[in-house]
Structure 1
Amino acid sequence: MTSYSRPPKALEGKRTPDHKNLSRFKVNAKLLLMVAVAILALIGSMFLSSLIPGLFWVRTVTATLFILFVPGFLALKVLGIRLKSFAESTLMALGLSISIVMLLGVGANILLPYVGIRDPLSLVPMTTIFVVMTTFLAVAASLKNGDVSFRLPLSLLRFRPYHLFLALIPLVTLLGVVVQNSFSSNIVLAVSILMICSIVVLVAMGKVPREAYPMTIFLMGISLLLHTSLISDFLWGWDIHLEYYAATSVIDASYWNPVPTDEMPQGLRNIFSMLSIVILGPVVSILGGAGMDVVLRVVYPFIFSFVPVGLYILFKKQTNEEMALLSSFFVISMFTFFTELPQIARQEIAELFVVLLLLLLVDNEIAISQKKALFVIFAFSLVVSHYGTYYFIITILLIGYVLGKLFDWWRAVRKHEAAPVPRLDEGSTSNAFNLTLVPLLLIISLSVLWYALASGSSPLLTIIDVLDRMGDYILGGIFAGSIIETIGMISAGSGTLLDMIWNVVQVALIVAIIVGIYLLLKKRNAASHAIASINLAALGVLAVCLAVPPLAAALNVSRIFHLALLFLAPSLVLGVVAALGMLSRISRSMGSLSRHSLKIVSAIVILSLAYNSGLMHVAIGAESTSFALDEDHDFPRFTTAEVMGVKWTVSNGPQWVMADEYRRLLFFSFETTAPMIPPPSRDLTYVNSLFYFGKYNLDNREILIKYDHVSWEDSGMLAMEHESSKIYSNPFSEAWYFKG
């Protein structure tokens, strides 16, 4: 019989090497249980909505939250990334989730047909793929050492009266949208904007706890976005109708065809190459059971609301909490944020990745290898989200890199020493932009590869066309118009005295940005110089647009200004504070300006929001610039009846269909070509044509031709009314057939 001896006491309670190896495979059961609950909630919500259709929203909310956060949090765990800030972790998880969804969707679209699944982008294949992918990530994450790290910070769980007031803002906004859409009253919406302004006042007075800053900027952002995105019964705006058509085409076919058809206009071809539209939207719609119009009007603004949160985190690493929050407030107070971008869904997604890339450049918590992996993922996600945003950002980063090198050389010459070689140093305690040439070249390579392969190189042809026009403008010496006139394109102005005054204010703010950049350059640390080089590049690109008005119009200067603010907003606040300090030193009577500088900045933010939201115009009785606050303001927004009229016209109309500037945009949601615009002269009227009229046309007996409202008498429509047959009519739209 073999005898077993007791191990020495010195070894009791200690693990042998074999024990240590086995412990590495210990599974985190708590994490697996949490993921299993999430998967069951997703599948259960699908069954619940099929049994009780009235609870479809449960499925939509559950699937949306699952898609946007669960894969990303698990990927962070797999990569071993643990950030101190819960807001930053959530932002990173959101970006990773969207990247995973887009890449997974493309993979399924390419590979599943080879195994006999001809509808890869349909409910069953997509649900199966997401369950398998999530399970795989959960198992991989559970093998990692450490805790689950999905815990909410305790500060968010402490209830304060301020939290109740903050939560009321989006609720009041939703109520205001319902009242405006149903009863044409803007009172509740105006109250919601006043509540947002009051938050800025509370911040200036120090009444808002700092730990609530990220939630504050998020709820203010989502409230401003929803107060416009949910106005009207259907999608409103320009590009969003093309995006809707592209996404619904994928949903209907359960497949994304990257090869465009010959009849597609170039704008639609560009959109078909953007995974932020043709993959992300359809996946959310398919799994969530919501219409694509709901996804574009609610889910995309929800995602975009995290961009101001990311800006706050980014700006905080450059300044301090209060200045960072005010800088973020200024970005969302601009007209472009809540009126232009909700109708350009692909740019909403692209800006999220822009912010994530910038956060990586100033981060000093993430290890070098992890940072490189995230940089590649987010850079490629930016490329496939929006070509226009990518072109602008890569231009700024390249110019900023060159300027940074020049500043390094200049400092080295002054000190009579060799110029330092920048490196991506994860152990650095500074907030310097770790910008090197290798990641920039990688982004460019990925973009050229994707844009050359997708949609017949349409995005590449677009930028070539823009550069060609830019060359014509510059070589031709076309610098017509004033800077003030061009800056007027940034805001929502309509040419009134109030608008001209605000244009002058915007010039002063641009001067403040220049002062802020100068102050950064004066500092002696490398971090400030690196940030200043990036800001100077953004200011230079913006200056080119402002100096060439035709180019500004072609590139949409309001969006360019908005993108520049992602870099320049902190410099603006720094410049205003410095200017107030200088005035305090010059005059004793202004000595208090320096002490109250942040309060004055807050007042500027409030005025910006009041002006750009149209609240100021409504208050003084001026011509409103807001289609959300003024139902009579002509804008490409549509009722359900108008949508029904367009669908009928698309299905039954003749070859020649005409509609005015705004009403024709609705046709892009349902076909690849839009109606022609009626000619301004009645002598040029096409025969055998069908004319479509929407609510605004019928109510005001006007049509919009070349963005000029023309009465029916002047356009010849009144005479045509007696020569046409009204072949379709509902309360808010009509179709006339003119034989000639």
Structure 2
Amino acid sequence: MKFENPFKLQNWKIKKFLMAILFFQISLLGLFALNKLGVNTPIIRPLIGFIYLSFIPGYLLLRILRLHKLNSIESFLYALGLSLFMDMFVGFLMNMLYPILGITDKPISEIPIVLTMAGVVFLLCIIAYLRDKNYNNPDFIDLKDILNPQVLFLSLIPFMAIFGTYLVNYYHNNILLMIMIVVIALVALIIGFTNWIDKKYYPYAIWIITIALVWHIMLITPYALNYDGEMYGAETTIENGFWNYNNFGNYNSVLSSKIFTPLICFICGLNLIWIYKVIFPLWISTFPVAIYIFVKIYLADKIAFLSSLIINSMGYIMIFAITTKQFMAEFFIILFIITIYNNMNKFKKKILTILIGFSIVWSHYGTSSIFMAGLLFTALFLKIPGLYNKNNNNLKEVFSLVGIYVTLYLSWYVYISDSSLFCTIISIGNNVLNSIWTEFLSPDTSRGAYMMTKQVSGLLLIRKYMNFGVAFFIILGMIKCLLNLFNKKSKFKFGLIYIGISLYFLAILVAAIVLPFFAVMGPDRLFTLSLVATSPFFSIGGIFFIKLILKGFKRDITTTNILKIMHIYIIILMLLNVGFIQEITKNHPRSIALSQKSIDNFGNLEDKSAFYRLLTDVYDVHAAKWASAYGKKNISRNNELPSSVGATFDNYGDRSLKIIGLNPHIKNIESNTYIWLKYANIKNIGFDINRYTMIWYYFNFSDVKPLLRGKNKIYDNKGSQIFLSN
């Protein structure tokens, strides 16, 4: 039995296409009306709303642009990317125009958003009909491919994450999550060593592995694991019904949290906690799939799978889960790169790059700035005499792309958030220049150098050097490709634009280590960003290195067998980075999903600090809510909360309170200040971040307890306490 391929919806006959679109349109409006009448639809509306926001505007834009010659995964990714762009764009226009036109002074609220999105979709339907009403060339999917044992087996894995986190949350039992991680490792091993899973299912396997690993962390505790002011920013917009784009601050420039997240909230009828725990992970899990699709253009399927698996095995997919704005930007960057190398009409390509470029800029100030510099670097790289002709690159087209993106970037950040980003860039540049000669490669001022030189032991030491091994193979792979580029007799596979971007990201990683104050985002986040471009070089470098070593011993090995070795390497690294091996051996256990029972008995102070720093505990949430409800407001506006107070109060508390956490550097506490002892502090575990170097440090909390003498305890829930300094 066959049916029309929903992933290539833009290729359906126009009548069926519009019927599918209008089904979701009418369903959403009907559910919205029922909710207004008091009828709850707790699962149906979030599901319909998620599909509506994720794909409906995107497939309409694909139809309007007449982009039909795309494979199923490309269609899916473009539909998702264009939908996210359209969601942010519509929300932005509503926020800017509705108050001016006198429609409403609270445009970012439920009724305006639902009705406006419905109107926009209806208008896009009309344009799609007029533009492309005669196209009809649908693909078909065989039901046997869906009910295939391989697909059904893979489909069980995310449910293991869901039920496994339930067991951890309510019964403190991690057995199902441990089994799930073993199954994921076996899937990766099966793909690396056999052909039992057909290569057409590799993208699905990548998505399954990713969503399971993200959910096994994000579904821990009933609260959102979200950092960097994102949830607070969304809450502010929802409370005000409006985004004030003039407020100074980089966080205020992020449309993905200031506009897009509230829009999800009102369309899906979900609170912010479940948006960050369920909705964003579903989008995040598509990122390694996009990596796979791009790498597959140049390299074999198993190498492409290995390149996408690196994102998961390095453990950095968790960074996307807790800083969704960076994921949004990186997803659009890989879509931007895919578009550059897509064999489509130049005009359509330019339209797509403009829309995707806007999306990068709107998603994250840091990532968009780094990418802009990367495009400028690439343009200069291609100016090397005769180089751009070597791989049939059009230099004018490259400079056009750079010009478009730089224009979009400058036009946004000059007028939004009172140009705060440029103040930040100048400040970072000034710090780097003032200390580059005195503190070059200093672990006291460079977060990258600190991570490189930090003393660790046991499994953490093995993990550290295996992570360095990935970076080593990537660098070696890049060197190999550059040698091939300048060697006329060697084959060169990659496009020069891609090589230029990859070189730039490697330079960024080096700068994060050698330059003081450069790695403001953090070396782990910079490395995650670099993997957008550099992940395929891991396989190339590994193959080159192993063959070179064996050649010295006068032995030979096939590329297939080398890839098997590298699969084993990456799987072991994944087991280390998710904390599976540490939990089995009780050697530095610190996973918030796997080690909740073992952390107190087997972890040292740093392990415990790292664990409780990430965990959002129920005691702390209740304390933050109590302080917000009963504390004295506007004592002293505290826009930058202490890191020891951290994301929990950021997300669940009131920033108008003057609240601090204790650390060894505090000598005196001002009057009318609230002092918060978190759950970790009650267990004598202290942690904070050095605002000068942005490096976390840990301490025994009993050392700072004398600071509480003479302070009044005003709240105690047996796991979190609040004191008031009079």
Please classify the TM superposition score into its range, dividing by the shorter chain length: 0.7 to 0.9
In 2, Cα distance between the equivalents of 1:310 and 1:719?
52
| Alpha-carbon spacing, 1:289–1:397, altered in 2? closer, same or farther (3 Å) | same
Change (3 A) 1:485 1:505: farther
Give per-residue Cα distances to partners, 1:39-71, cap 9 Å, x unaligned.
111122334455676631211111111011001
Query: Residue 441 of structure 1 aligns to which amino acid in structure 2?
Result: G
* Residue pair 1:31, 1:138 contacting (<8 A) in 2 also: no
The alignment status of 1:164 with 2:144, answered yes or no, reads no
**Which residue in the other structure is 1:618 paired with?**
583
Hey, what does 1:110 align to over in structure 2?
96
Aligned runs of 1:386-465 on 2, under 5 Å? 386-406=364-384, 408-409=385-386, 422-423=393-394, 436-465=398-427
Which letter does structure 2 place at the counterpart of 1:390?
Answer: S
Report the residue type matching 2:262 in the other structure.
P
Residue matched to 1:13: none
Assess, with a 3 A threshold, how the Cα gap between structure 1 residues 158 and 230 changes in structure 2: closer, same or farther.
closer
With over 3 angstroms needed to count, the CA separation of the structure-2 counterparts of 1:709 and 1:386, relative to structure 1, is closer
Q: Are 2:6 and 1:35 equivalent residues in the alignment? A: no
Structure 1 residue runs of 5 or longer lacking an equivalent are 1-26, 261-265, 413-418, 425-433
Q: Would you say the 8 A contact 1:272–1:455 is kept in 2?
A: yes
Q: Aligned to 2:349, which of 371, 374, 395?
A: 371
1:420 deviates by 9.1
The residue identity in structure 2 corresponding to 1:599 is K
Q: 1:321 aligns with which of 301, 307, 318?
A: 301
- Pairing 1:628–2:604 present: no
Letter in 1 for 2:244: N
Deviation per residue, 1:621-653 (Å, 9 max, x gap)? 211232222224322432344223212212322
State the Cα distance separating 1:376 from its structure 2 match: 0.5
| Secondary structure at 1:279 match in 2 | helix
Q: Aligned pair 1:543/2:520, yes or no?
A: no
Matched ranges for 1:260-279 at <5 A: 260=247, 269-279=249-259
- Are residues 1:680 and 2:659 paired? no
The answer for the alignment partner of 2:234 in structure 1 is: 247
Question: Could you tell me how far apart the structure 2 residues matched to 1:529 and 1:152 are?
Answer: 32
**Alpha-carbon distance between aligned partners in 1 of 2:108 and 2:135, rounded to the nearest angstrom:** 35
Q: Secondary structure at the match of 2:723?
A: strand
Return the alpha-carbon distance in structure 2 between the equivalents of residues 254 and 639 of structure 1: 29
Aligned to 1:533: 500
Q: Which residue of 2 aligns with 1:64?
A: 50
Task: Return the offset for 1:404.
Answer: 2.6
Alignment CA distance shift 1:518-1:714 (3 Å): closer
Contact 2:660 2:673 in 1 (8 A): no
CA distance in 2, matches of 1:657, 1:32: 51
Measure the CA separation in 2 of the matches of 1:81 and 1:572. 33
Are the equivalent residues in 1 in contact too, given 2:225–2:276 (CA < 8 A)? no
In structure 1, the residue matched to 2:572 is 607
| CA deviations over 1:264-314 (Å, ceiling 9, x no partner) | xx6xx2122111111111111011111112212221221111111111001
Q: Which moved more, 1:29-38 or 1:309-318?
A: 29-38
SS at match of 2:473: helix
Match of 2:339 among 360, 370, 376: 360
**Which of 440, 464, 487 pairs up with 1:478?**
440
Q: Deviations over 1:153-177 (max 9, x none)?
A: 4388442211122111110011111
Task: Give the match for residue 384 of structure 1.
Answer: 362
SS for the counterpart of 1:436 is helix
CA distance in 2, matches of 1:490, 1:65: 43
Shift of 1:657: 11
8 Å CA contact 2:660, 2:676 repeated in 1: no
Q: 3-state SS of the aligned residue for 2:363?
A: coil
Match of 1:198 in 2: 186
Q: Percent identity?
A: 23
Residues 124-203 of structure 1 mapped to structure 2, 5 A cutoff? 124-143=111-130, 144-147=132-135, 153-154=141-142, 157-203=145-191
Deviation at 1:361, TM superposition (A): 1.5
Q: Does 2:165 match 1:207? A: no
C-alpha displacement of 1:529: 5.8
Return closer, same or farther for 1:378/1:514 CA change in 2, 3 Å cut-off. same
Classify the secondary structure of the residue corresponding to 2:564. helix
User: What is the RMSD computed on CA atoms of the aligned residues?
Assistant: 3.0
Equivalent position amino acid for 2:60 in 1 = L
Q: Say if 1:664 and 1:676, in contact at 8 Å, map to a contact too.
A: no
Q: Is the 8 A contact 1:645 1:733 kept in 2?
A: yes
Amino acid at match of 1:453: Y
Helix, strand or coil for the counterpart of 1:453?
coil
Asked if 1:502 is matched to 2:489, the reply is no
Worse overlay, 673-682 or 623-632: 673-682
1:663 aligns with 2:645: yes
CA deviation vs aligned residue, 1:540-577 (integer Å, no higher than 9, x gap): 222222233x3465341111111111111111111111
Q: CA deviation at 1:315?
A: 0.6
What amino acid is aligned across from residue 322 of structure 2 in structure 1?
A: Q
Residue 322 (structure 2) pairs with residue 343 (structure 1): yes
1:728 alignment partner AA: Y
Structure 1 residues 555 and 345, CA gap change in structure 2 (3 angstroms):
closer
Q: Note if contact 1:210-1:321 (Cα within 8 Å) is conserved in structure 2.
A: yes
CA distance in 1, matches of 2:520, 2:666: 30
Change (3 A) 1:704 1:482: closer
Candidates 687, 696, 705, aligned match of 2:680:
696
One-letter amino acid of the structure 2 residue matched with residue 349 of structure 1:
M
Measure how far apart 1:671 and its partner are. 3.5
How has the CA–CA distance of structure 1 residues 359 and 174 changed in structure 2, closer, same or farther, with 3 Å as cutoff?
same
- Relative distance call for 1:581 and 1:244 in structure 2 (3 A) is same
Deviation at 1:396, TM superposition (A): 2.3
Matches of 1:410 and 1:450 in 2, distance apart? 33
* TM-superposed deviation, 1:36: 1.9
What SS does structure 2 have at the residue aligned with 1:736? strand
Q: Which amino acid aligns with 1:357?
A: F
Q: 2: distance between equivalents of 1:731 and 1:714?
A: 20
Q: Taking structure 2 as the reference length, what is the TM-score of the superposition?
A: 0.87
Q: Is the 8 A contact 1:494 1:625 kept in 2?
A: no
CA distance in 1, matches of 2:257, 2:15: 36
Q: Distance in 2 between matches of 1:227 and 1:490?
A: 28
Q: TM-score, normalised by structure 1?
A: 0.85
Instruction: Note the alpha carbon deviations across 1:576-601, whole angstroms, 9 max, x for none.
Output: 1122233343335x534644111111
**Aligned match for 1:519, one of 480, 494, 501:** 480
Q: Using the alignment, how far apart are the partners of 1:286 and 1:508 within structure 2?
A: 45
Distance 1:477 1:245 in 2: 35
The 1:152/1:639 distance shift into structure 2, 3 A limit, reads farther
Contact residue 483 and residue 547 of structure 1 kept, 8 A: no
